[in-house]
Structure formats: C-alpha cells, structure tokens
Structure 1
Amino acid sequence: MPNATTSLYSVKMRASRGGEHISGAERICTSEHVGPIAASLNERALGHPKGTPDEIHLTVRGVDPVSIGYVPALEVEEVPCQSPEQARDFISTRLKELGVAAPVARRVDELMHTVSGLRGAMLVDARTGERIEPDRERGVRVTNLDARSQVTGPTKNHHHEALVLASKVCHHPKILAEVCISDDPDYTTGYLAARGTYYRIPKIKRPGEDVGTRVFVCAPMTAEEKKELISYLENRVIVVDDAPAPGVAAPGFDELCAQENRRWREADLERTQRVFGTAQEATATVDGAERVLLSSSNYLGLSQHPEVVAAATGALRQFGTGSGGSRLTTGTTTWHARVEEAFASFTGYEDAVFFATGYQANLSTIQALNRLAGGNLEVFSDQLNHASLIDGCRIAGLHARVYPHRDMAVLDKLLSVSRSEHKLIISDGVFSMDGTVAPLPSLRRLADAYGAWLYIDDAHGVGTLGARGRGTIERFGVRPDILMATASKALGAEGGAVCTNAEFAHLLRNQARSYVFSTATSAANCAAVCAALGVIDREPVVVDKLHANIERLSRLLQEAGIPVPDGGWETPIVPIPIGDEAHALRVSERLQDAGFHVPAIRYPTVPRGKAILRVTLMSTITGDQLARFVEALATAM
C-alpha cells in the first residue's frame, strides 16, 4: 500500500447523450498515470456501442492512501448456460439456496428484465422483495474502486470490471447477492455474485436485447444500516486484491492487519475475551468478579465432578500430559480405545471414532464422505447449521443446497429434483444459537425416501435430551447413519466422536485427515470422557436436574412477560431476543453489574438486527439464582 507521501488520484469518466447515461468508468492511480488514463477513458467513451456522447465528464480528485480498503477478489465459476431461460433458472435456484423465498426470487427476475436506464443499482429486501434504495430514478451507484491488476487501455474488459465491482459489493455483510445484466446490447454475458463466488453466466440475454441493470439482494436492515451500506458502496475507496498494479504497492503485513482490525471494529464486530479465574461452575470468577454463570456449555456440571476429575488425574499420572503423535503413530492409548468403545455403547452404534475436537470431526467426516461418493456428493444443509458443518462442505469443495430452518417441505422439494447418485442430509441435532431441535423423524423419513445418508451433529443434544441423556436419538427413537457427539459440552471435557457403522469407522481411521495428521488428544482427557459417560449412566439425576432447571426458567420467563415458545424450552439453550446490537450489549452489561454472566450474541453469529442474549443452563444452577436472574433481566431490558 502507498505510504502517506504517495500521491494517488481517482480518475472518473461519465458520458451521456441527451441527458441519457451511456458509459462510466474509473481508475485509481499515481500522479504520473493520470494523463494517460484520462485519455484512455475519454477514448473509451467516444467508442461506446450505445453511440457517441454529447457530454463527457472527467473528474480527478486526490485519494488518501490510508483510507483505502482492500478486499479479495471473488472466485470465478463459469456457468454452462445455453440460453437466457437457463440463465434465469440458474439465478432463481441460487437465490433460493441463499434462503431467498421463491416470491422474492421471482421479483428479482422481474426487475432484471423490466427496469433499465438506471445509472445505479436497485436494492431489494431479501425478506419482502421491496425496492429500498432512496432514489428509484437514480439507484445506488458503486464508485471509488479499482483493482491492482486493472487492465489498461481504451478497450473495455467487461469481465474484469464486473468482477472488481462485484468483489466490492459482495464484501459488505448486508449484501446477500448481486445479479447483473450489462446494458451493452452486444454483451450477452452477465453474472450472479454470492458467498464469495462470481458466477459468470453466458447468454444471460439475447444479442441486441434492450435490457440491462443490476440488483443487490440485501439482508433486512435498519435505516441506519442501509445508510451505512449506501455510504460504503458510493464513497468507501476499495482496491480489489487480485494482483499488484503499477505504482500501488501491496500493504505491509502489520498495516494490512491494522486495516482489517479497524474495519472489523467499525462494523461493530470486534470481540474481547472474558478471562475465567475459576472452573465452569454455577458461580464463577469472570474478569476478576464473581458472577452467576449462565453461558457455559458444561450443562451437567461434569467438568468438576469428583469421578471425572479423579479419572483424568489418574491417567495424567500414568500417561503424562501429551499424546506425542497422531492416532496412527503414537497417539492411541488404552484410554483412547476405551473412550471409543464407551461412546459406541452409550449411543448404540457399532463403532465410534474419537477426534480431538468436534470441529475436526465434522470437517474430516464430510471430506471422507465426499471421497467415498467419488467427489460427487450432493449436500442438503439446514440454514442454521453450525459453522463446522458449513466449513466442512466448503473445504471439501461441495456446493450445499441450503433449506430454510427445519423446513421439511422445501427439503422434500430439493431432494425430489436431485439427480445425484449420492446425497447427504446434514443438520444440527440441537441448534446452538436458538436451542431448537431438528425434526429427526422427518429427516429420517426423507433420507430413506430419496436414498440419502443422514448426518446429525448432536453436540448440544448428547447429555441434555432424553431421560437418560442420549440426545436426539433417545428423544425421537430415530437413528441417523452418522451421529457426531461431542465431549466438550455436557460431558465437561473435550473432543468429538463420530458414531456410525463399523465399516465407515474403519474408513475414517484411514482417511479422515484430522485423525491421520493431527496430534491426538491426551489420555487424561479420554479418561475424563469415559468417566463422564459413566456418571450419566449411574446417576441420571444429573440429567433430571438439568431438565428441571429448563422447565423452571421457562416458567419464570413466561411469568415475567418475556417470550417463550408454547410448552416452554426443551433444551438448555435459551435465546432471549433483543434485536439491536447496541441494546443487546447494554443489557448484557447491566446483567454483569447485577452479577450474571450472559454475553450478547451478535452478527456474524446471528443475522444483523437479530442480536440475542444466549442463556445456557447447567444442572448445578439453583432455583434462587434463576429467579434473581429473571428479575434482573426484566429490569435490564
């Protein structure tokens, strides 16, 4: 990136005829390139296919190098569409996979083919399909952008310029997708940009067809958020990092990190760690202050259970602190073998494969499943699935078909049109942010009906659901093909077990990359997990106490006038809806002052404007503590 003494300029060209916009372009360059670039842009305006302009406006203004933001270029994927009809079908399908409802997708298609002549873009609310830009005659213009490898000369490179613009647009968290058809009558290639990918769509219109516009599909937002979005699109100077451009050096490592941290902070996304001085008990020391802990996943209080601690201590004395290698080298002890046997017995599966974390388990298992399917696995994923499932699909190079949260009708429809030989339905068992439970019987029925494999991540279900704490499989009496159960939540330790049939377990031990290449968790941890599973078997009262606390909190919240689902909550994850991010932080701070630790959960963990307080319960919390919490919450809200 240029230093503070480097002179940078924005050179913009706007051409029109009879007041009608014909062409526009801009570049960011150093002082010695201003003249040649201005001449190049002028030549380009005079040779536009829409005709010779009668007015050409060239403006040159200085740019502060420190103000420049850098964003990565989108990945490019060529879409093999052979007709405008196929292009429209592709766009509609992709929008629906992003969670855009069918009526809104149809509205976007209608706008793309009926609105033209705008100098800017339309903003469309993904929830309602309404246009929300302030000036519908002008639209919202995306300006102040360039690329490091910008093509020079008077000839327009449609693809390159479109990629640069789409990269800036889609970097903003409120933009779900951009759809564009060029207003150049001779240029028939358009694009859809979403989720880090630029889908280049040939034959999006017919040659000579008089259509051309762009639509930004936006997540729901407040008036202030919309104002910030428009300011970013029109005013924020962005350089797309695809390759170095002459005269514009790449920013140094420290400066690039500082820029990104500043951008994150300005977007209200910055987080700070809370430091615990005690164990995860009902009352804990957080940042030096004693507070009632209502945010831990130590649901059954087992991390401090005497039997669990004693088992870990004994294994620690016998095997030491580390495993010394991966599971296939020196990392498998007798405790590793025992914990896999214990998980298989606890869940009723033939075998279980134990990974160092649940995150690793999900990533490696999805990769192994895709390999098993010959690289042709089609995934159907719930909209609110955990990041580890989403990242597993991404790292495996899979395109997941996302269905709305627990919407079995949409999932049924997606499966019905699938032509893939190998299909995988993946879902959380208990969803980590909203505490809802996956409809396991319906998922099993659909998987069987369409020949799909069913994979459930029951990280928050094992130990919390069912009279014996077996999770969603006990709650519904239904079994997925693959169950991922973690030890890091209700079991009070660490790690993730993939419970499945013997053949797939053997395959994972040979092909799951984090199992093969990552250092194994310690024997002490495995011993703790075994002991925790034993405690649940012998002392089901720990599960009963948790269920009683869930019922108690549901009743107290309802009595205080705070929204509760019909029948109350079923899981120890209780989201308290707040909405505004700033207000959620204030409520959380007021609760801290009152002696309760309940963090505010904000974007990007949850959608913007949908901030929550995520309360999690433990069996060790007392009724008096819950009553005082609800009283403090009602006052803080």
Structure 2
Amino acid sequence: MSWQQRIEQVLHQRQQQGLLRRRSAVTLSPQARLTHGDQLFTHFSSNDYLGLSQHPAVIEAWCSGARKWGTGAGASGHVTGYSPSHEQLEQTLAQWLDFPRALLFSSGFAANQALVFALAESSDTLIADKLMHASLQEAAALSPARYRRFPHNSLTGLVRQLAATESENRLVITEGVFSMDGDQAPLAAISEHCRAHQAWLMVDDAHGIGVIGEEGRGSCAQQQVKPDILVVTFGKALGVSGAAVLCSAEVAEYLEQQARHLIYSTALPAAQADAVLASIAIVRQQPEYRQRLSGNITLFRQQCLHHGIALTDSQTAIQPVIIGDNHQALAVADKLKSAGHWIQAIRPPTVPPGSARLRITLSAAHSERQIAELVEALRHAL
C-alpha cells in the first residue's frame, strides 16, 4: 500500500468511526469567551482554570519583557538562551514548591519525554498509571526500560507490579489530577508504597499546580507528599505556556548533561518567563481566584445534580460528562455550540474506547449565569 493509499484509508476510517479531528481558528477574550467566525461562545473547554491568560498583570509582564529582552531566546539555554529571567523563574519555582532545583522546558510534553529518555536504561523498570498522559506513555514505550502499567489509581495494582519487579531502579509515574477524568491520584499512599519498595516517584501535576493546595502549590503539597521528581506546566492554571521539572540538585545537573529536549531546543523566550513569574505571584498572593473556581465547581455540580445530569466523582475543574458513543458525543457537542457553549467532544484514543465524553472545564472567569445557562443547555442537549 502506497503512502497516499494508506493516508486516504486512515482518514476514511476515522471519518466513519467519528474520530476525525479538526481544528478551528478562534479568538479568545476575557470573561471566558471566544469567537468563531461571527458567533460568540462561552468557553468551557479551556485549561485556563483561573483566567490568568487574560490578566492585565500577566499580559503587561510579557509585553514589558519583550521590550526588554526581545521576542525570542535565540538559542538553547546551554548556548546563549538562558537569561536572568529564566534564572529567576527557576529559583522562584524551587522556593515555591520546596525543591532544590527547577529546570525549564518548552512544554510539559517535552519535559516528560526528556525525563524518561534521560533516566531510563534497559536494566530499569517504569511502572505507570494506565491513564497517564500520552507524552509519558509514548516515552515509556519507546525507552529501553521495562514498562509496566497498573489499573488507574489502583494501589493493589501498583503493589503487585512493585512486588513483581526486581530492578534496582524503578520509577513509578502518575499524575496529580488526571486530564480527562478530573480525578486525583492517592499520592500519599502511592508515596508510601514507593518508599517501602525503594522506588522513585514521579508526579506530573500539570492540572493541579496553581489550583490545589496552599498557595496553589498543587496536588503533592495538598497531600503532603514529596516526590523524587515533579513536573509542572505553565499553560493551564498559570495561563502562559512552558513547563518545569522540580528535582534534587544532582538530578538537575544530570538532566543538564543528558536531557536532549533541554540541550538541543531553543529556550522559551525570556519575556515568557517574566509572564510566568507574574502569574505565580498572583496565584500565591491572591487566593480569591482559587476560591472563585472552587465555588464554580460546587455550583455546577449542584445544578447538574438538581437536573439529573450524571457526572463522575471529579471535584476538580475538569468535569467530564460520559456519552460513550463517538457520534453521539459529537452530536451533543454540536447542540451545545448551537446554544452558544463551546465544548469539545473527546474521543479515543485520547480516552478509552466506548468512553467518548464532553470534557467540561470550569474557570474562575465563569459567572454564575454562564454556568446556569450551560447546565440548562446541557439538560436539553442530552
């Protein structure tokens, strides 16, 4: 089969299965709004949980940073792309999250893959939650290490895998908040089992940092857990983009020598680091954003319960409504868009087969009226 034939076959199959993905050019604006074409929507698909991507202080920090540093780093951080702003951001992250070191990466995807590829050798074992992010699944599968998975959030499954492996180096990988289900990992118990079996723990807290725990320190701080490696991203609650790895001084120095995503990639712009610093300051000093988000989550769940709309047990900003069938999920999402609510249907392989869903994400930027209108439209669409 030629490439052209293969491409046409895959596209046809995806269309038939209701799995074809398409992008839409949209214009984002404050108050959780977006415009597509000539239509204005209330935005319920963003990971901008605190609305900080539209915060004047964050925008001004980026603009003033661009005037000071220019618009790009121009090189890898190992060459000339590492500025005083990058250094300050790493120091701030380390102090805020109580780790010896922080290293900046262009994205959470890059940070996760850099870690796995730099650490894992053929004599090592990676033990991961079955629903961990695609970046980690791919890196673990492609690494030379043995790769084992345990059922989602199953402590029994984790212990079984730990007991069944004898590698000197074992890395347990999980997430703080899972991006498609919105549930949280039992990190305290997982950490205890890791210590009992002399295994390292890595936590990807992309969806927990900024919104959970005191000062928004995330899932690990909330559960009083200190993993060996913590990954946080700046593109969700912090409202910018990029990521960081928090770790020991020795691991950081090792990654500076071995992490190809760090060594061979242009550093994120210094102006972007300034914007992240401004966002962190807001998160730490203004808890009212987290309080508003928490109130919106409670309001949404109460109103769905009142109208008999089935939800999962998620207590986070991620509130999935499981539909099951791909085509039906698309149809419900289209009905909601017709009512002025922008919500994407999430389908396999992002989620397991038969669990297509609406991934509703709430923000501190949503008003009570917007939430009430969404629930009413959701009731009719379902």
| TM-score (normalised: structure 1) | 0.59
Provide, for residues 127-173 of structure 1, a one-character-per-residue CA deviation record: whole Å limited to 9, x for no partner. xxxxxxxxxxxxxxxxxxxxxxxxxxxxxxxxxxxxxxxxxxxxxxx
* 1:306 Cα deviation from its structure 2 partner: 1.2
Among 332, 348, 362, the alignment partner of 1:617 is 362
Counterpart for residue 128 of structure 2: 381
Counterpart for residue 494 of structure 1: 241
1:400-411 map, 5 Å: 400-411=147-158
Whether 2:95 is the aligned partner of 1:336: answer no
Whether 2:340 is the aligned partner of 1:590: answer no
Counterpart for residue 451 of structure 1: 198
The structure whose residues are more often strand, as a share, is 1
Whole-Å Cα distance in 2 between the matches of residues 458 and 586 of structure 1?
32
* 1:257 Cα deviation from its structure 2 partner: 3.1
* 1:472 Cα deviation from its structure 2 partner: 0.5
Question: Is contact 1:436–1:571 with CA below 8 Å preserved after alignment?
Answer: yes
Counterpart for residue 355 of structure 1: 105
Whole-Å Cα distance in 1 between the matches of residues 314 and 184 of structure 2?
10
Counterpart for residue 278 of structure 2: 531
* 1:503 Cα deviation from its structure 2 partner: 1.1
* 1:258 Cα deviation from its structure 2 partner: 3.0
Counterpart for residue 221 of structure 2: 474
Whole-Å Cα distance in 2 between the matches of residues 431 and 329 of structure 1?
36
Question: Is contact 1:461–1:472 with CA below 8 Å preserved after alignment?
Answer: yes
* 1:256 Cα deviation from its structure 2 partner: 4.1
Counterpart for residue 551 of structure 1: 298
* 1:280 Cα deviation from its structure 2 partner: 6.5
* 1:614 Cα deviation from its structure 2 partner: 0.2
Question: Is contact 2:76–2:266 with CA below 8 Å preserved after alignment?
Answer: yes
Provide, for residues 73-119 of structure 1, a one-character-per-residue CA deviation record: whole Å limited to 9, x for no partner. xxxxxxxxxxxxxxxxxxxxxxxxxxxxxxxxxxxxxxxxxxxxxxx
1:247-262 map, 5 Å: 251=2, 253-262=3-12
Whole-Å Cα distance in 2 between the matches of residues 282 and 513 of structure 1?
37
Whole-Å Cα distance in 1 between the matches of residues 228 and 26 of structure 2?
38
Whole-Å Cα distance in 2 between the matches of residues 278 and 385 of structure 1?
29
Whole-Å Cα distance in 1 between the matches of residues 143 and 271 of structure 2?
32
Whole-Å Cα distance in 2 between the matches of residues 287 and 445 of structure 1?
52
Among 282, 289, 302, the alignment partner of 1:542 is 289
Whole-Å Cα distance in 1 between the matches of residues 29 and 266 of structure 2?
26
| TM-score (normalised: structure 2) | 0.97
Whether 2:325 is the aligned partner of 1:580: answer yes
User: Residue type of the partner of 1:308?
Assistant: V
User: Structure 1 stretches of 5 or more lacking a match?
Assistant: 1-69, 71-250
Question: Is contact 2:311–2:320 with CA below 8 Å preserved after alignment?
Answer: no
SS in structure 2 of the partner of residue 278 of structure 1: strand
Whole-Å Cα distance in 2 between the matches of residues 479 and 279 of structure 1?
37
* 1:320 Cα deviation from its structure 2 partner: 1.3
Whether 2:374 is the aligned partner of 1:629: answer yes
Question: Is contact 1:603–1:611 with CA below 8 Å preserved after alignment?
Answer: yes
Whole-Å Cα distance in 1 between the matches of residues 195 and 28 of structure 2?
47
Whether 2:215 is the aligned partner of 1:465: answer no
> How many residues are paired up?
382
SS in structure 2 of the partner of residue 489 of structure 1: coil
Whole-Å Cα distance in 2 between the matches of residues 298 and 422 of structure 1?
36
Among 162, 167, 170, the alignment partner of 1:423 is 170
User: Residue type of the partner of 1:335?
Assistant: S
Whole-Å Cα distance in 1 between the matches of residues 148 and 133 of structure 2?
15
* 1:392 Cα deviation from its structure 2 partner: 1.6
Counterpart for residue 270 of structure 1: 20
1:602-613 map, 5 Å: 602-613=347-358
SS in structure 1 of the partner of residue 14 of structure 2: helix
* 1:286 Cα deviation from its structure 2 partner: 2.7
SS in structure 1 of the partner of residue 357 of structure 2: strand
Identical counterparts, % of pairs: 37
* 1:394 Cα deviation from its structure 2 partner: 2.3
Deviation >6 Å, runs of 4+: none
Larger RCO: 1 or 2 (CA < 8 Å, sep 6+) = 2
Aligned pair in 2 of structure 1 residues 564, 270: CA closer, same or farther (>3 Å)?
Answer: closer
SS in structure 1 of the partner of residue 28 of structure 2: coil
Whole-Å Cα distance in 1 between the matches of residues 205 and 198 of structure 2?
22
* 1:602 Cα deviation from its structure 2 partner: 0.9
Whole-Å Cα distance in 1 between the matches of residues 98 and 263 of structure 2?
25
Among 567, 570, 574, the alignment partner of 2:315 is 570
Whole-Å Cα distance in 2 between the matches of residues 449 and 388 of structure 1?
28
* 1:342 Cα deviation from its structure 2 partner: 1.5
The structure whose residues are more often helix, as a share, is 2
User: Residue type of the partner of 1:608?
Assistant: P
Whether 2:46 is the aligned partner of 1:296: answer yes
Aligned pair in 2 of structure 1 residues 287, 430: CA closer, same or farther (>3 Å)?
Answer: farther
User: Residue type of the partner of 2:170?
Assistant: K
SS in structure 1 of the partner of residue 96 of structure 2: helix
* 1:625 Cα deviation from its structure 2 partner: 0.7
* 1:546 Cα deviation from its structure 2 partner: 0.9
Question: Is contact 1:550–1:569 with CA below 8 Å preserved after alignment?
Answer: no
Whole-Å Cα distance in 1 between the matches of residues 330 and 9 of structure 2?
24
User: Residue type of the partner of 2:48?
Assistant: N
Whole-Å Cα distance in 1 between the matches of residues 34 and 299 of structure 2?
21
Aligned pair in 2 of structure 1 residues 581, 301: CA closer, same or farther (>3 Å)?
Answer: same
Question: Is contact 2:106–2:241 with CA below 8 Å preserved after alignment?
Answer: yes
SS in structure 1 of the partner of residue 27 of structure 2: coil
After superposing the two structures, state which structure 1 stretch, 542-551 or 425-434, moved more: 542-551
* 1:559 Cα deviation from its structure 2 partner: 1.0
Provide, for residues 234-283 of structure 1, a one-character-per-residue CA deviation record: whole Å limited to 9, x for no partner. xxxxxxxxxxxxxxxxx2x5454333323332332211112112347412
SS in structure 2 of the partner of residue 354 of structure 1: strand
* 1:527 Cα deviation from its structure 2 partner: 0.8
SS in structure 2 of the partner of residue 291 of structure 1: strand
Among 61, 74, 77, the alignment partner of 1:327 is 77
SS in structure 2 of the partner of residue 484 of structure 1: strand
Question: Is contact 1:468–1:543 with CA below 8 Å preserved after alignment?
Answer: no
Question: Is contact 2:311–2:319 with CA below 8 Å preserved after alignment?
Answer: no
User: Residue type of the partner of 2:61?
Assistant: A
Q: CA RMSD in A?
A: 1.4
Question: Is contact 2:62–2:275 with CA below 8 Å preserved after alignment?
Answer: yes
User: Residue type of the partner of 2:87?
Assistant: A
Whole-Å Cα distance in 2 between the matches of residues 357 and 533 of structure 1?
17
Question: Is contact 1:467–1:543 with CA below 8 Å preserved after alignment?
Answer: no
Provide, for residues 165-214 of structure 1, a one-character-per-residue CA deviation record: whole Å limited to 9, x for no partner. xxxxxxxxxxxxxxxxxxxxxxxxxxxxxxxxxxxxxxxxxxxxxxxxxx
Whole-Å Cα distance in 2 between the matches of residues 435 and 362 of structure 1?
20
Counterpart for residue 263 of structure 2: 516
Whether 2:159 is the aligned partner of 1:412: answer yes
Whole-Å Cα distance in 2 between the matches of residues 576 and 439 of structure 1?
23
* 1:336 Cα deviation from its structure 2 partner: 1.0
User: Structure 2 stretches of 5 or more lacking a match?
Assistant: none
Whole-Å Cα distance in 2 between the matches of residues 320 and 379 of structure 1?
41
Whole-Å Cα distance in 1 between the matches of residues 8 and 380 of structure 2?
39
1:194-233 map, 5 Å: none
User: Residue type of the partner of 1:601?
Assistant: I
Whole-Å Cα distance in 1 between the matches of residues 37 and 94 of structure 2?
39
Question: Is contact 1:347–1:470 with CA below 8 Å preserved after alignment?
Answer: yes
SS in structure 1 of the partner of residue 8 of structure 2: helix
